Amino acid sequence: MITKPQLPGFLAGSAPVFKGISPRLLARLAASASVRRFARGELICHSGERVRDIWVLLEGRVCVNRCSWKGGRVNLEIMVPGEIFGLPALTLWSYPSDIQAVRPSAAAAIPRQRLLDEIKGDPALAQSVFGVIAQRLDFIEAQLTLSREPVERRLAAALIYLGRKFGAEIALTSAEIGEMAQTTPETAMRKLKVFERDGLLRRSRGKVEIADLVRLEARISSPSDLGRPSAGWASSRSALQKRR
């Protein structure tokens, strides 16, 4: 269990958004933060709630979701330890989405204003935070582009994006990956079996390993409509290769 005195070391070594940031700045962020624990299913914050904190996940798993017009939940993002979340709140007065622990979890709550002050004074931190936002926006835009496309293409896009978080080995269940692609657990399992049969990935209990990123990317693009994968998707290839 990570405690508050351990936060500076965790932020420096396990949170990519803070990689290369000065120890003194990280110490100030850690000093202002509080460590909070959440039970499975507990809401960390809900849509419309007044913004107070930006979060860094220390343990467990967290999902960001919204309610659809039909009343169902749309899973927008899955967070793993070391990731920062709640970033839209940097420019808003209320959280735009529900954020919920899907496993017993712990997170560091950094006061919004403290993080904003540090961003204003440190260009490297600002660039890193904007990079995280841009990467997530790239995924959302890709999913919107593919929203009317077959589920196979949405799953391929979700796998490539998740590969950026985990490396080639993605520690998520078929159902969790299906949520990211806006499909049912049954459909996700069936299509992932097809991907495995085609040599694109390998599956085992609770995880999926990307075996052929180039061919997986090819499942997204089509000469007739989408053209070549975006720069964001192309950059994931080298990122995954470095993590292997």
Largest CA distance in the chain: 55
SS3 204: strand
30 in a structural domain: yes
Runs of H (alpha helix) within 33-146: 112-121, 123-145
137 in a structural domain: no
207 in a structural domain: yes
Q: Identity (one letter) of the amino acid at 64?
A: V
Report pLDDT for 148: 79
| CATH assignment at residue 15 | 2.60.120.10
The reply to whether 111 and 163 lie within a common domain is: no
138 in a structural domain: no
Residue 162's pLDDT band (cuts 50, 70, 90): confident
The reply to whether 16 and 111 lie within a common domain is: yes
In whole angstroms, what is the distance from residue 19 CA to residue 128 CA?
A: 8
The reply to whether 112 and 170 lie within a common domain is: no
DSSP count for the chain of H helices, then E strands: 9, 11
The reply to whether 115 and 165 lie within a common domain is: no
The reply to whether 10 and 114 lie within a common domain is: yes
The reply to whether 99 and 176 lie within a common domain is: no
| CATH assignment at residue 155 | 1.10.10.10
First-to-last alpha carbon distance for the chain, in angstroms, is 28
The reply to whether 33 and 84 lie within a common domain is: yes
Report pLDDT for 244: 47
The reply to whether 110 and 208 lie within a common domain is: no
Which among 195, 230, 24 is positioned nearest to 124, based on CA atoms?
24
Residue that terminates a domain, selected from 122, 154, 181 = 122
| C-alpha atoms less than 13 angstroms from C-alpha of 13 in its C-beta half-sphere | 5
Task: Say what the pTM is.
Answer: 0.77
pLDDT digit string, tens, across residues 187-244: 999 999 999 999 999 998 888 999 999 999 888 874 333 333 344 434 444 444 444 4
Number of structural domains (the chain) is: 2
**205, two tokens:** 């209990």
In whole angstroms, what is the distance from residue 49 CA to residue 197 CA?
A: 45
| C-alpha atoms less than 13 angstroms from C-alpha of 56 in its C-beta half-sphere | 29
How far CA 132 is from CA of 77, 89, 93, 193, 208, in Å, comes to 13, 14, 20, 31, 23
Write down the residue that tokens 């962020």 correspond to: 29
Task: Report DSSP state, residue 44.
Answer: E
Report pLDDT for 228: 38
Structural domain of 66: 4-122
Radius of gyration of the chain (CA): 18
Report pLDDT for 71: 61
**130, two tokens:** 């904007």
131 in a structural domain: no
The reply to whether 168 and 93 lie within a common domain is: no
Instruction: Decide: 126 and 137 in contact? Cβ < 8 Å.
Output: no
**171, two tokens:** 């520690």
The reply to whether 9 and 95 lie within a common domain is: yes
Which among 212, 211, 230 is positioned nearest to 221, based on CA atoms?
230
pLDDT digit string, tens, across residues 52-103: 999 999 999 999 987 766 666 677 888 889 999 999 889 888 998 999 999 9
